[in-house]
Amino acid sequence: MLTHLDVRKRFAQFWETHGHKEVPPIPLVPQNDPTTLFTGSGMQQLVPNLLGEPHPLGTRLYNVQRCIRAQDIDEVGDNRHVTFFEMMGNWSLGDYFKKEQIDWLTTFLTQKLGLNSTRLYATIFKGYTHVPQDTEAEAIWKEQFNNLLTKDFYVIGVKEVTVNTSPESGIKESDRIFYYDVSKNWWSRAGAPDTMPMGEVGGPSSEVFVDFDPQGALGIHAQSRFAQSPCHPNCDCGRFIEIGNSVFMEYVKAEDGFFQPLPKTNVDFGGGLERILMAIQQKQDVFETDLFWPIVQTISSDYSHHDDERKKHTRIIADHMRTVTHLAADGIIPGPKEQGYLMRTLIRRAVRASHNLHMDVTQLDEAVRATQKIYAPVYEHVGAPRIPEIVMDEIRKYQNTLISGRKIIASFIKKKSHITGADVFNLYQSIGVPEGEVADIARSLGATVDMIGFEEAKRAHASSSKAGSEQKFKGGLADQSEQVVKYHTATHLLHQALGDVLGASVRQEGSNITGERLRFDFYCAHKPTPEELVQVANVINQKINDALAVRQIILPKEEAQRIGAKSFFKEKYPDMVKVFMIGASDETLQMLSSKPIITPRAPFAYSIEFCGGPHVSNTKDIGKLDLYKFEKIGTDLYRIYGK
C-alpha cells in the first residue's frame, strides 16, 4: 500500500517528468497579506502569476502546500472534513491547457497511483448566460473514459444536474460525466460571472470524484439524509468524494459585460492529499489513512469498533491536535485574536471532546507527538521539541478556566430563575465552559434553560463569523490598495533599519499588514532601548525623504544571497527568486542582470530583499512613518507597529 511519503514522491517525479518546476510552499500564515488569516490553497501565492505576471521558474509549476480552512469547523467529525490539509497542485501559465491537463491527471491517478479507473467520475461546466457550455472538456473526458474503461461497447453517459437536485434517474454504470452550474464548476476571484468586475479573469472547472461505494455494499447512500433522492457526485450523501479540481482560466470580462477569450490560458489544479490517500488506500474514512491513524491510536486503540458518536469525538481530537501542531510549528501561539484565536478554539474543542470520551487530557500530548513523527520527515520544523509544551500549556490553562468558570456560572444562575439562550451563549463564549455544562449547572440549581434560543444565538454568531472569515480570503494578496502597498514597501525599510541600528542579530520572525497599520515581528539578541527605536524611525523616514527608487529583478537564489538579499527564514525559496532593491542605480540593475556576481561588491542598494508582493515605485510615495507601539512577545522576540 502506498504511503503519504510514496504519493509525495510520485507526484513530484511525475510533474518534473513533464517539465514542471517545484514552487516551494509558503507558511500557513502568508506574509504581508491582510486578506487572509491562513494559506487556504496552493494557488494563493500564484495569483499574480495566474493574472499575467511572469513567474521566475517558468510556465510549468507544481507543489504540495500546507493549508488551513476553518470555515467549516463544525463539519469536522465526519469521515472526510478536516481543518488542516495539504493541497497537491500543478499549474500551466499560458503553456498547456485542457487536453494535456486532463490526460496527465488521469494518467497520474490511474497509472502512477494505481487508482481503479471504474471508480472515477468527472464534473464539468454546463454554461451560463454569456459563457458557453464546456463541450471541449466533455469531449476530452469521453475520450479518457473510453480509453480507461476496457469494454468495447462502452458508451459514456453525460448528465446535466441542477444544484440541490438529483438526476432524473439513478446512476448507470456508463454515467461518468456530469454537468453542473456556476456554483460548482466555475472559478473567479469574484465568484459567479455576474459578480465579476470588468477586466476580471475566470473560467470553467472540472472536478474529479471517486466512488467510495460502487456496489452499494457499504450502504453509505442508504444511511445518508439524502437517501430519498437518486445519487450523483455532488449530492453530499458521502458516497462520492472530490479528490481534485482543474480550473481552466480562459475568459476575461469585457466592458460590455460579455466574456472574451484570454490570449493566454492558464491551468490551476488542486487535489487534497488526504482524500487522494483515502482513495488509493481504499479507506472510507480519512482518519484511517496513514496521515491520521497513528494519531487516532493515541486517542483510542479500538477506534474501528466505536459507534458514530465516539468516532466523532475521536476525529475532532485527531484533527484539531494535528492542526495546532502545525500552527505551533509556524510560530502561532494560542491567544484572543485572529490565528491565535483559532488555535485556542481548536485546543478547547479537543479538550471538550476528550471529556466526552472520558479520557485523560494528558493523552492529547501523545497526539501532538504522533503528529510530529508523521510530518517531521517532510517538514523538519514540525518536529521542534517546544511544540508539545506550547499545546499542553494552553490545555492546562483551559482546565483551570473550566474549574473557575463553573463557579462563575453557579453564581450567575443563583440570581435568575430562567436562563435565556443568549445567557447560555454568552457564558459559553466568554468563559469557555461548554453549553451542556452551563445547562446542567442551571438545572441543578432549579433554573430553566432555553436551549433552543442558545442554538439560534450560536447559529447567528457562526453565520456572522463565517461571513467575516470569507472576507479574509479573496485569492491571496487580494488587497493591493494604495495604503497596503505603501506599508508593504515600508516593512523593507523597517527590516533594514532595525539591522542598521540594532546589529546583525536582527532576524525577521513574521509580519502582518492591514490598511490601517503594519506589524513586524523580529528576533534581537538584546532588548531595543527607546533611544534605539527613535533612531530606527529616523533612519526609515530619512530613506523615505531621500526618494529612493524601488526596483525588482529576478536572480538565481544563490546569487541573491551573495549580494546580501534578506529573506524570511521560515520560507523556502525556488532556484530563481524575485528580489526587490531600494536605492539601486540603473547601472547596478543592468550589471546584475547581465552577468553573475561571484564576489559580492557592496553596497548594491540600501535594502535588498526576497519578496513577491506589490511595492511603490519610489520611497517618497510611502509618506512619513510613525512607529507607535513596541512590545516583547517572547524570549528575544519583539513586535513593532507602524502607521
Of 160 and 545, the structure prediction assigns the larger pLDDT to 545
DSSP 480: -
Question: pLDDT value at position 226?
Answer: 60
Q: Does one domain contain both 403 and 432?
A: no
Partnered with residue 609 across adjacent β-strands are: 566, 580
Question: pLDDT value at position 540?
Answer: 94
List the Cα angle 160/242/197 in 5-degree steps.
70
For residue 64, the Cα-to-chain-centroid distance in whole angstroms is 11
Question: pLDDT value at position 137?
Answer: 96
Question: pLDDT value at position 612?
Answer: 72
Question: pLDDT value at position 174?
Answer: 77
Q: What are 611's three cell numbers?
A: 519578496
pLDDT confidence tier of residue 514, bands split at 50, 70 and 90: confident
In a domain, 126, yes or no: yes
For residue 456, the Cα-to-chain-centroid distance in whole angstroms is 29
Q: If DSSP codes are grouped into helix, strand and coil, which group holds residue 263?
A: strand
Q: What are 261's three cell numbers?
A: 477569450
Averaged pLDDT of the chain:
85
Asked if residues 391 and 347 have their Cβ atoms less than 8 Å apart, the reply is: yes
Q: Does one domain contain both 457 and 562?
A: no
**Per the structure, how many domains does the chain have?**
4
Q: What are 360's three cell numbers?
A: 485523560
Q: Residues 348-358: what's their mean pLDDT?
A: 90
Q: Which domain holds residue 112?
A: 4-287
Residue 464 has pLDDT above 60, yes or no: no
In a domain, 226, yes or no: yes
Backbone angles phi and psi of 70, in degrees to 5: -105, 5
What DSSP element (H or E) covers 535? helix 530-545
Per residue in 118-155, pLDDT tens? 899 999 999 988 899 999 999 999 999 988 886 555 56
Q: Decide which of 408, 437, 456 is a domain's last residue.
A: 408
Residue 240 has pLDDT above 70, yes or no: yes
In a domain, 296, yes or no: no
Per residue in 588-640, pLDDT tens? 777 777 766 655 555 788 898 888 777 898 999 999 999 999 998 877 889 99
In a domain, 130, yes or no: yes
In a domain, 429, yes or no: yes
Question: pLDDT value at position 516?
Answer: 85
Among 27-31, 149-153, 361-365, 579-583, the range scoring the smallest mean pLDDT is: 149-153
Q: What is the CATH classification number for the domain harbouring 558?
A: 3.30.980.10
From the list 465, 400, 456, 398, the residue with the least C-alpha distance to 423 is: 456
Q: Decide which of 253, 287, 321 is a domain's last residue.
A: 287
Among 63-77, 155-169, 183-197, 514-528, the range scoring the smallest mean pLDDT is: 155-169
pLDDT confidence tier of residue 178, bands split at 50, 70 and 90: very high
Q: Does one domain contain both 400 and 458?
A: no
Q: Decide which of 385, 408, 431 is a domain's last residue.
A: 408
Q: Residues 7-11: what's their mean pLDDT?
A: 97
Per residue in 16-27, pLDDT tens? 999 999 999 999
Question: pLDDT value at position 595?
Answer: 63
In a domain, 297, yes or no: no
Q: Does one domain contain both 380 and 451?
A: no
Per residue in 286-296, pLDDT tens? 999 999 999 99
Question: pLDDT value at position 470?
Answer: 45
pLDDT confidence tier of residue 421, bands split at 50, 70 and 90: confident
Of 637 and 34, the structure prediction assigns the larger pLDDT to 637
Q: Residues 474-484: what's their mean pLDDT?
A: 60
Q: Does one domain contain both 373 and 282?
A: no
In a domain, 440, yes or no: yes
Report the distance separating Cα 544 and Cα 625, nearest Å. 9
Question: pLDDT value at position 149?
Answer: 81
From the list 214, 212, 277, the residue with the least C-alpha distance to 241 is: 212
Distances (CA, A) of 576 to 25, 419, 556, 594: 14, 62, 4, 15
Read off the pTM. 0.76
- Beta strand 448-449 with 60-68: parallel, antiparallel or unpaired? unpaired
In a domain, 280, yes or no: yes
Helix residue spans in 432-481 (DSSP H): 435-444, 451-471
Of 33 and 485, the structure prediction assigns the larger pLDDT to 485
Q: If DSSP codes are grouped into helix, strand and coil, which group holds residue 87?
A: strand
Distances (CA, A) of 137 to 93, 99, 132, 133, 205: 19, 8, 12, 9, 9
* Residue 566 neighbours by CB under 8 Å, 6+ apart: 495, 496, 499, 508, 607, 608, 609, 610
Report the distance separating Cα 300 and Cα 177, nearest Å. 40
Q: Does one domain contain both 38 and 184?
A: yes
Residue 164 has pLDDT above 80, yes or no: no
Question: pLDDT value at position 602?
Answer: 56
Cis peptide upstream of residue 56 (ω within 30 degrees of 0):
no
Q: Does one domain contain both 401 and 423?
A: no
Q: Does one domain contain both 368 and 430?
A: no
Residue 350 has pLDDT above 80, yes or no: yes
Q: Does one domain contain both 436 and 363?
A: no
Kindly tell me the number of DSSP H helices and DSSP E strands found in the chain. Answer: 18, 19
Q: Does one domain contain both 231 and 365?
A: no
Q: Does one domain contain both 70 and 207?
A: yes
Q: Does one domain contain both 39 and 88?
A: yes
From the list 47, 34, 32, 42, the residue with the least C-alpha distance to 69 is: 42
From the list 307, 295, 313, the residue with the least C-alpha distance to 369 is: 295
